[in-house]
């Protein structure tokens, strides 16, 4: 029995994983960092303190992590205001599930970006709770952001479903005890080990129905 549904944001409702990569790479090259083809995949799911520290220590930016995070968020906000990359079917999928269950959001995005994305998309009113990984101790693949989301929803983890797209997100939701529905990210597909943790794998948001969750 499912009592609540918790969505990821980036890669599930908004098509932004490659946008995060482009913005971080742009900044890294401007500041003389060592960008690698694995950098964005490495940072997927990390909290803001974690990925900004990665850019400082691994990518090699001399600026302090807090300054790096602030600049990346500023550039992401500008891109969102220019054109929010809402994934086709996102609004309809959220509405379908919110009509049956309370829904939450467990995202690795910074709080200002979560709030802006939900405002621009018109989806804010559907979410009973939203949690940023910068508000918990650890980002994905740790379970913290999902555990906090279900705590705020007032449901047991095993009675909640998560909607995810990435390896780290799948692992985080599964380790929190949620049942995981996966829509694989087209730009950064989850690995087979992560996919094996899913209860259901579907092709797109069009397939995200109450029946798919109930299964």
pLDDT by 10-residue block (mean), the chain, 215 residues: 97 93 95 92 88 96 96 97 97 98 97 98 98 94 98 98 96 98 93 96 96 87
H-helix or E-strand spanning residue 162: strand 160-164
User: Torsions phi, psi of 177, nearest 5?
Assistant: 100, 5
User: Torsions phi, psi of 43, nearest 5?
Assistant: -85, -10
DSSP state string for 86-140: BPTTHHHHHHHHHTTS-EEEEESS-HHHHHHHHHHHT-GGGEEEEEEGGGSS--T
CA distance linking residue 173 with residue 193, whole number of Å: 14
CATH classification number, 4-15+85-214, choose in 3.40.50.720, 3.30.450.70, 3.40.50.1000, 3.40.50.10490: 3.40.50.1000
* Structure tokens that stand for 80 in this block: 């969102």
Task: Tell which residue, 160, 159, 136, 158, has the closest CA to residue 148.
Answer: 136
Per-residue pLDDT tens over the stretch 84-142? 999 999 999 999 999 999 999 999 999 999 999 999 999 999 999 999 999 999 999 99
What residue segments make up the domains of the chain, in order of their start? 4-15+85-214, 17-82
What is residue 102's predicted lDDT score, i.e. its pLDDT?
A: 98
Which residues, listed in sequence order, are joined to residue 180 by a DSSP beta bridge?
Answer: 162
What is residue 187's predicted lDDT score, i.e. its pLDDT?
A: 86
What is residue 44's predicted lDDT score, i.e. its pLDDT?
A: 85
Residue 36: CB partners within 8 Å, gap ≥ 6? Answer: none
* Structure tokens that stand for 36 in this block: 């690698």
What is residue 53's predicted lDDT score, i.e. its pLDDT?
A: 96
CA 112 vs. chain centroid, Å, equals 14
3-class SS at 24?
helix
**Strand pairing category for 127-132 and 200-201:** unpaired
CA distance linking residue 55 with residue 183, whole number of Å: 28
Q: Which CATH class is domain 17-82?
A: mainly alpha
Q: What's the predicted TM-score (pTM) here?
A: 0.91
Evaluate whether 132 touches 36 at the Cβ level (below 8 Å). Answer: no
């Amino acid at each position: 029995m499912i009592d609540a549904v918790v969505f990821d944001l980036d890669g599930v409702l908004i098509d932004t994983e490659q946008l995060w990569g482009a913005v971080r790479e742009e900044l890294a090259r401007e500041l003389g960092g060592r960008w690698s083809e694995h950098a964005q995949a490495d940072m997927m799911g990390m909290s803001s303190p974690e990925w900004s520290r990665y850019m400082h220590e691994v990518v090699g930016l001399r600026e302090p992590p807090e300054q790096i995070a602030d600049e990346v968020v500023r550039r992401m906000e500008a891109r969102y205001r220019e054109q929010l990359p809402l994934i086709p079917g996102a609004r309809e999928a959220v509405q379908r599930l919110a009509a049956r269950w309370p829904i939450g959001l467990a995202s690795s995005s910074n709080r200002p970006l979560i709030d802006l994305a939900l405002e621009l998309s018109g989806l804010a009113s559907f979410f009973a709770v939203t949690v940023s990984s910068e508000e918990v101790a650890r980002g994905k693949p740790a379970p913290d952001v999902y555990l906090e989301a279900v705590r705020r929803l007032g449901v047991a983890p095993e009675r909640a479903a998560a909607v995810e797209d990435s390896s780290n997100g799948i692992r985080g939701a599964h380790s929190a005890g949620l049942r995981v529905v996966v829509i694989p990210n087209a730009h950064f597909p989850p690995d087979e080990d992560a996919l094996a943790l899913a209860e259901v794998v579907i092709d797109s948001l069009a397939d995200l129905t109450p029946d798919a969750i109930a299964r």
